[in-house]
Structures are given as C-alpha cells and as structure tokens.
Amino acid sequence: MSATKVQLGFELNGERVDVAFASHKTLLEVLREDLGLTGTKHGCELGECGTCTVLLDQVPVLSCLVLGQACAGRRVETVEGMADNARLHPLQDAFAELGAAQCGYCTPAFLLAAAALLREHPAPSRALIQEALAGNLCRCTGYLKIYEAVELAARRMRGEPASPARETLYGS
C-alpha cells in the first residue's frame, strides 16, 4: 500500500528535523517508525494509558492521538532529548536511583510528564504530583517510587542537596 507522504519540519529535542511520512501517521508512529526514536512507547494507541506521552510545545500530549502533520514547525521533546549530553536529567537520575523504573516501559512517559510539571511547579506537593501523573498508568511500581523520585529531582533542581530517606530504599 502506498499512502501519500507529506514532508515537514519541526524541532525535535532542540534540533530541526525534516521528515517525510505517510499522511495518516500519528506523531507516535512518525517518531518510532520514520525517525527511529523508539524511546517513546505505546500501551494502547487509543489515548487511554499515557505511555506515549511526549512534550509538544512544552505541554504533555498523547503522541498516539496527535497527527504527525499537526506538528509542523512545533517543538517536540522525547525521552531521548532529556539527558544533557552524557549527563542524565535529574529526573532520570532520581528514577534510576530509587528504582522508579522497573520494567521501564512506562518510564519515558512519566519522565516527560514530570518534567513538564517541574517546569511549572518547581516545588510540587505530593497531591499535585499525583494529579499531574494521573493520566499515566504504571503496573510495576505502584507509583510510590515515582512520586519520591520526582520529589528528589525537584529538590536537586532547586539546588538543594538531597538524598533519599533511608526508609525509601530500605523500608521502615
């Protein structure tokens, strides 16, 4: 089947990309299939699980529901662009440190949703974190290590020296 292709450009992780793709494709498909960035995952492709979350003009969106064509000239951020060269983003580092990534499949989406939250709210309450991440499902962690990782990263991003509480890693 030869679908009509469109060609367009957008900013992807800080770099301008030009890509040609079948006109019906979603941003998720363009990223994974046409640009080879498989860090963005999918759990339903129906907009139900949040696993495909990326940032579009700094706002978390479900890339399975966004047409690739709608991204022309816009700014897209994926997990591949989070690290500062070889240095992990504080969120990535905290997720790794606390075991907030178990199977790792939902992790890119949680990282991006959390990054968007921390841009708006550098010191979010636990309730705000829960609300901001309520659209993302995780079946491994029970979310608790994710909250704690977001809080740990937030403290470090505010310049506070922070390390995890002993009971976070070893129990009470």
Partner 1 sequence: MAADTLRVVGTATRKIDATAKVTGQTRFADDIALPRMLFARLLRSPHAHARIRRIDTSRAAARDGVKAVLVGRDLPIPFGILPVSQDEHALALDAVRFVGDPVAAVAATSEEAAAAALESIDVEYEPLTAITSPEDALATPAPRIHDYGPSGNVHKLIALDFGGVEEGFGSADVVREDVFFFAGNTHLPMEQHAAVASWSADGKLVLWSSTQTPHYVHRALAKVLELEPARIRVIATPNGGAFGGKSDPFGHEIVVAKLAMETGRPVKITLTREEVFYCHRGRHPTLMWIRTGVKRDGTITALDFKSLLDGGAYGSYGVASTYYTGALQTVTYVVPRYRFRGARMFTNKPPCGPKRGHGTPQPRFALEVHLDKIAEQLNIDPAELRLRQLVPAGSVTVNHLRIGSMGLGECIRKVVQGSGWATKFRKLPLGRGVGLACSSYITGAGLPIYWNDMPHSGVQLKCDRGGGVTVFCGSTEIGQGSDSVLAIIAAEVLGIDPFDVAVVAGDTDLTPVDLGSYSSRVTLMTGNACVAAAERARAIIARHVASQLAIPEDRVTFARSRVFDAADPSTTMTFAEAVQLAEAREGTVGTVGSYTPPRNPSRYRGSGVGPSPAYSYSAAVAEVTVEPDTGIVRVPHIWVAHDVGRSINAAAVMGQIEGSVYMGLGEALMEEMTYRENRGMVHKAPSLLEYKSPTTLEMCDVTSYIVEHPDPNGPFGAKEVGQGPLLPVMPAVANAVYDAVGVRIDEVPITPEKVLKALRRKQKGEAPRFGPAGFPAVDWPDATRVPPPELDG
Joined tokens for residue 9:
């450009």
Instruction: Specify whether the CB–CB gap between 92 and 80 falls below 8 A.
Output: no
**Nearest Cα residue to 112 out of 157, 58, 68:** 58
Binding of partner 1 at residue 14 (CB under 8 A)? no
Binding of partner 1 at residue 122 (CB under 8 A)? no
Sign for the pseudo-dihedral over CA of 146, 55, 29, 93: negative
Instruction: Please list the residues that pair with 26 across neighbouring strands.
Output: 67
Segment contacting partner 1 by CB under 8 A, of 7-15, 69-77, 98-106, 155-163 = 98-106
Instruction: Specify whether the CB–CB gap between 116 and 55 falls below 8 A.
Output: yes
Q: Cβ 79 to partner 1, closest distance in Å?
A: 4
Euclidean distance between CA atoms 149 and 96, whole angstroms? 9
Binding of partner 1 at residue 17 (CB under 8 A)? no
Member of 35, 55, 76, 101 binding partner 1 (CB under 8 A):
101
Q: Cβ 91 to partner 1, closest distance in Å?
A: 8
Instruction: Please list the residues that pair with 75 across neighbouring strands.
Output: 11
Segment contacting partner 1 by CB under 8 A, of 7-15, 47-55, 67-75, 155-163 = 47-55
For partner 1, the binding residues (CB under 8 A) are 1, 3, 32-33, 36-46, 48-49, 51, 78-80, 82-83, 88, 92-93, 95-99, 101-108, 111, 129-131, 133-145, 147, 168-172
